[in-house]
Amino acid sequence: MSTNPKAIIIGSGIGGMATAVRLAVQGFDVEVFEKNSYPGGKLYAFEKDGFHFDAGPSLFTQPQNIEALFELAAEPAEKYFTYRPVDIACKYFYENGKVLQAYTDTTAFATELHKQLHEAPGAVTGYLRRAATLYDNIGTVFLDYSLHKRETWLHKRIFKALSAVRLAYLFSSLHQYNRKKFSAPETVQLFNRFATYNGSNPYKAPAMLSMIPHLEQNQGAFYPDGGMISITKAVYQLALAKGVKFYFNESVQQILTSAGKVQGVLVGNKIKPAAIVVSNADVYVTYQQLLQNNKKAKKILKQERSSSAVIFYWGINKIFPQLHLHNIFFSKDYKAEFDSIFNHKVVCADPRVYFNITSKRESAQAPGGMKNCFVMVNAPADTGHNWQALKEKLRNIIIEKLERILKTDLRSCIVTEHTLDPLMIAQQTAAQNGALYGSSSNSAFAAFLRQPNFSSATRGLYFCGGSVHPGGGIPLCLKSAKIVSELIAADFNRQQP
């Protein structure tokens, strides 16, 4: 019998699995309990009528986060996972007929914006240069370390970070900031959309989010061979190789604590003792259901929920040569879309449409002469909406919009279909109200209001994943795993590799 201390992870999302790997490397016996029959959380895939669909996140940036995990585990990443750079991060279509391609080469991107929108190339390169500086000086501190530990604020790196902070980053909205930096309204709209990467409203979220384009336009966008599900498969296989044990179809009923210390979890009415418990579940669900702490749960819900999504997975018997891997069809009135979602809690009548086709990169992901299409619109978190009726309405709006802009038939070309809505997201992933990122970043202090990666009340209890610091999305979930593992190493005097 092993004498190593036991660590239990609740949930096998990408953050939970990455935490499991890191703790296994530290010498813990790690067990992961997952309520679903598969790993990955929102990062999963399915097959229907010969079409492959990545069900969740579709954009891959910062592959170095995954490579660092394999390096830490002393395993060759290429044995598990390969990827390729994408030359065009996204193709944008506007209601006024303008079209542009966001090249991942900065100079080419600036040239394209000048050619299509008459935007000054220097405005684009200058913006991206400032985004890189902002990320390097501030982002690497605020995203890579706990904001709730004294030592973070005493380290010399914090002084460099604080010296780079400008009032505009905190007290101007992303839209206000972008409007001052660019002359073309289409460019402003393009850079406003990056607020949606963490489910936020660019007309409220701080200009600090202007660092987000750095990840895609400076560092580059990539395509993982086999689709996004290959990320889940790679990290899952790595965890198995490190001795992590997974238990699927096993819902944790309760986190057990006593005298301010975690004792383990209750699963299937059986006590599973552990020195450490890490919740990769939605933080509201963790407090409300697993810790039965209604006071803390209600406090979390006071923070504005992030946006959610309605997704149509379409198998289409058409090629669409004018489309790339990632495509955006903008709404005419972008502000109205966010007013609908965040102020009125309704689906916009003219939503921005995201259109992803992985078979553009790997033809085998769809039958011959056909394409697998992931079509998504932003939506409010669920508050009792009639999603079945709304999906029917949205389906018609989206098809009419795409047919009008692309000047081609779409409706009759759909040969198979599956849908996902905020209520289904909540049911499948336990994300409260189906909010994809937990709370939004619609205030200058949102980062500080997010749940820390540790419990100040219960020794041995930690949190990772998209609903806690530093936020949602694959890169940040992987960063949360790193933060948690470093906190545990410090708290339990474990040797970090």
| 265: phi then psi, degrees, rounded to nearest 5 | -135, 160
Q: Which residues, at least 6 apart from 493, have a Cβ–Cβ distance to it below 8 Å?
A: none
Q: Above pLDDT 70, what percent of the chain?
A: 96
Sign for the pseudo-dihedral over CA of 73, 76, 82, 85: positive
Confidence band of 66 (pLDDT split at 50, 70, 90): very high
Q: Which of 276, 191, 345 is nearest to 485 (CA)?
A: 276
- Tens of pLDDT, residue by residue over 226-264, are 999 999 999 999 999 999 999 999 999 999 999 999 999
- Is-above-0.75 flag for pTM? yes
Contact 45, 24 (CB under 8 A): no
Q: Which of 143, 146, 74, 23 is nearest to 489 (CA)?
A: 23
Contact 45, 55 (CB under 8 A): yes
- The rounded Cα 311 to chain-centroid distance in angstroms is 15
Q: Which residues, at least 6 apart from 218, have a Cβ–Cβ distance to it below 8 Å?
A: 106, 128, 131, 132
- Tens of pLDDT, residue by residue over 137-155, are 887 777 887 877 777 666 6
150: helix, coil or strand? helix
Q: Above pLDDT 90, what percent of the chain?
A: 87
Exposed, middle or buried by CB within 10 Å (0-12, 13-18, 19+), for 217? Answer: buried
In this structure, of 16-30, 165-179, 418-432, the range with the lowest mean pLDDT score is: 165-179
Predicted confidence (pLDDT) at residue 308 exceeds the cutoff of 90: yes
Rounded to whole angstroms, the Cα distance separating 412 from 410 reads 6
71: helix, coil or strand? helix
**What pLDDT is attached to residue 156?**
66
**What pLDDT is attached to residue 496?**
53
- Tens of pLDDT, residue by residue over 259-300, are 999 999 999 999 999 999 999 999 999 999 999 999 999 999
Helix (H) or strand (E) run with residue 266 in it: strand 261-267
- Tens of pLDDT, residue by residue over 6-26, are 999 999 999 999 999 999 999
Contact 100, 112 (CB under 8 A): yes
How would you classify the pairing of strands 83-86 and 221-224?
Answer: antiparallel
Token reading at 69:
């995990």
Sign for the pseudo-dihedral over CA of 211, 216, 220, 226: positive
Rounded to whole angstroms, the Cα distance separating 161 from 76 reads 34
- Tens of pLDDT, residue by residue over 68-122, are 999 999 999 999 999 999 999 999 999 999 999 999 999 999 999 999 999 999 9
Question: Terminal CA-to-CA distance of the chain, rounded, Å?
Answer: 24
**What pLDDT is attached to residue 382?**
97
**What pLDDT is attached to residue 161?**
61
Predicted confidence (pLDDT) at residue 413 exceeds the cutoff of 90: yes
